[in-house]
Amino acid sequence: MKIYNPPIKEFKFILEAIGYDELSSIEKYAGYDLQTVIELLNEAGKFCVNELLPLNSVGDEKGVTFDPETHEVKLPEEFVALFQKYVENGFGGLSQPEEFGGGGAPHLLGLLIGEMVLATNKSFSMGPGLTKDLILAIRMNGSDEQKETYLPSLISGEVSGTMCLTEPQAGTDLGLVSTKAVPNEDGKTYSLTGTKIWITFGEHNFTDNILHLVLAKLPDAPPGIKGISAFIVPKVLENGERNKIFCGGIEHKLGINASPTCVMNLEGAEGYLMGEPHKGMKTMFVMMNSARLGVGQEGVALTEIAYQTALAFAKDRKQSRSLNPDKVDKSSSADNILVHPDVRRMLLNIKSTNEAMRCLVFYTGKLISISHSHPDESRREDAEDIISLLTPVIKSYLTERGFLNISDAMQVCGGAGYTTEWNIEQYLRDERIAMIYEGTNHIQALDLVGRKLPMHGGRLVQKFQKEIETFLQENAGNPDMGEFLSPIKESFEKLQDVTMWMMKSSMSDSEVIGAVSSNYLNAFALATLSYMWGIQVKHALGQGGEEAKTKLKTARYFNSNVLPEIDSIISIIKKGKSNMMDFGTEEL
């Protein structure tokens, strides 16, 4: 049973809460005021419900096929037709630059539409999603010629894009990449040889041509990641010839079955250097960081559709009697399961975390739009710093909490949730990969603790803390805000204390960071979500009405039932690595 109502009212509330007007006041985005954005979202929502959602389980059941003779990978024909409709509606290019054929909308609008696309058909979303990330990489690092050559066709949907990083021996450790790039005699192109694995949409039948961003090493490359260069490798060359990059096989997976995951073999494929030699990691991180934000949003999107499904089930299901005699339905032999506190606990855990996580994604999306186009350079830099700080938090925490939320949604439905009839089992399977790809969640934690916190002398985290302190000060005089400000202040004080403990402890034991960083990221995320609730509460108090009252109730629930997790997490962090490194291999 497929249940999804696009949460447009929720989108509008959050856009108002985070101050969307700041974006529409930028000259470049003047044509995208809030009313226009809501109209576009309503149309996109209809497309997602009417076109994407019905094919979600179809793609899961049919999967993709691979022909070893022709190296062709094919998605179901229904998906190919669906992609053409998606392109014709202009959803993929809406937030891309006008000079290359895009709609010129803020990046945030792409995220708003992206949540609905992800919720209704995650497998489908993977193709356009990676193309969007490649577009950004070329915009940021490509030459003028490369931008003019590739961006229009990528934005129009005529060509799609991939990211080819991983190799059998080089996963998290990209310094082990062995794909070679040898300069050709023409002085412009390179011949690439090697094998890439886990390549999403590496081969497919959505578009005739595919642009691959490939990491490889030049003959004079220094060792490790400092020797990596980035190359654009098209499936079809400018003269129409088939390039020597082929799919060698597809993976058979737990979920996202209509998203082809390919082994790609480069057999002297022709490629073009993007950016400077040996500076490929810079190019890669532009694309990867964009992808990581999108992956984090997967947790929000699939939580939303799972929550709506579980809530619909719970409203209809009757089992047992209420523990409160006053709530017993005497006209029925059993009560609706919503009278049971534990059912409400699960539903409210989902609701209270997801509304804060969505706010965090859109808050960050607004910052991305500011970093692209705000006229004030210092405002752009501040936005970039906070985006950089929050990216690993979003990728890691939102995917982990999203998976737990979907599991709770399944639990609400009992045995029915475990069956294919209610589709939650597919959402659970599709979400599980999000904690792994685009950098495992532990890598995100190490990135936060090892890179982002100390970066530029702590500038990133100091700016974020300053913003929060300003928010607390500006709202301190509002008596209605008091109960919501205290949890923010207290959680960040606790976070600051454990941060100092962690940094001090790591000076005498280098393994401490590896042992505690994942827990630290979760503590950081919880504190950040408390701030997101503060932003929403402020707007709700100013708005009034029944929906605003529900927001306040949900914020109270989060502060009482979810945020206290930070205390147990910090307690564990302060145990350091405990005795985890004392076990011999044979004892594990």
pLDDT in tens, 103-142: 999 999 999 999 999 999 999 999 999 999 999 999 999 9
Residue 105 sits at the vertex; the CA angle it makes with 99 and 110, to the nearest 5 degrees, is 120
Provide CB contacts within 8 A for 65, sequence distance 6+: 73, 74
What pLDDT score does 453 carry? 98
pLDDT for 202 equals 99
The pairing of beta strand 159-164 with beta strand 65-67: unpaired
Q: Which residues, at least 6 apart from 389, have a Cβ–Cβ distance to it below 8 Å?
A: 448, 452, 460, 461, 464
Give SS3 for 582: coil
Q: How far is CA 260 from the centre of its chain?
A: 19
Average pLDDT estimate for 77-82: 98
Averaged over 25-54, what is the pLDDT?
98
CB within 8 Å of 322: residues ≥ 6 apart: 328, 329, 335, 339, 340
| Known catalytic residue at 483 | no
In the predicted model, is pLDDT for residue 296 greater than 90? Answer: yes
pLDDT number for residue 569: 99
| Integer Cα distance of 190 and 143 in angstroms | 16
pLDDT score, position 292:
96
Look at residue 521 in the predicted model and tell me its pLDDT: 99
**Structure confidence at residue 513 (pLDDT):** 97
How far is 362 from 107, CA to CA, in rounded Å?
10
Packing angle of the helix pair 459-475, 512-543 (nearest 10 deg): 30
Q: What is the per-residue pLDDT across 530-587, written as a single tens digit (0 to 9) for each?
A: 999 999 999 999 999 999 999 999 999 999 999 999 999 999 999 999 999 999 999 9
pLDDT above 70 coverage of the chain, percent: 100
Mean pLDDT in the chain?
A: 97
Question: Which has the closest alpha carbon to 531: 484, 478, 565, 462?
Answer: 484
pLDDT digits (tens, 9 = 90+) for 224-272: 999 999 999 999 999 999 999 999 999 999 999 999 999 999 999 999 9
pLDDT digits (tens, 9 = 90+) for 449-499: 999 999 999 999 999 999 999 999 999 999 999 999 999 999 999 999 999
- φ, ψ of residue 91 to 5 degrees: the values are -65, -35
Choice among 51, 304, 425, 438 that is catalytic = 438
- The residue among 1, 125, 118 whose CA lies nearest residue 57 is 1
pLDDT digit string, tens, across residues 565-578:
999 999 999 999 99
pTM: 0.98
pLDDT over threshold 90, residue 349: yes
Which pLDDT value is given to residue 372?
95
Average pLDDT over residues 379-400: 98
492-519 per-residue burial string, b: 16 or more CB within 10 A, e: under 16: bebbeebbebbeebbeeeeebbbbbbbb
H/E element holding 84? helix 77-88
The pLDDT tens digits of the residues spanning 138-164 come to 999 999 999 999 999 999 999 999 999
Would you state the pLDDT for residue 326? 87
- pLDDT band of residue 214 (cuts 50, 70, 90) is very high
Determine the longest span between alpha carbons in the chain, in angstroms: 86
172-181 per-position pLDDT tens digit: 999 999 999 9
* Residue 1: band (very low, low, confident or very high) from pLDDT cuts 50, 70, 90: confident
Q: Check the CA dihedral 268-273-277-279 and report its sign.
A: negative
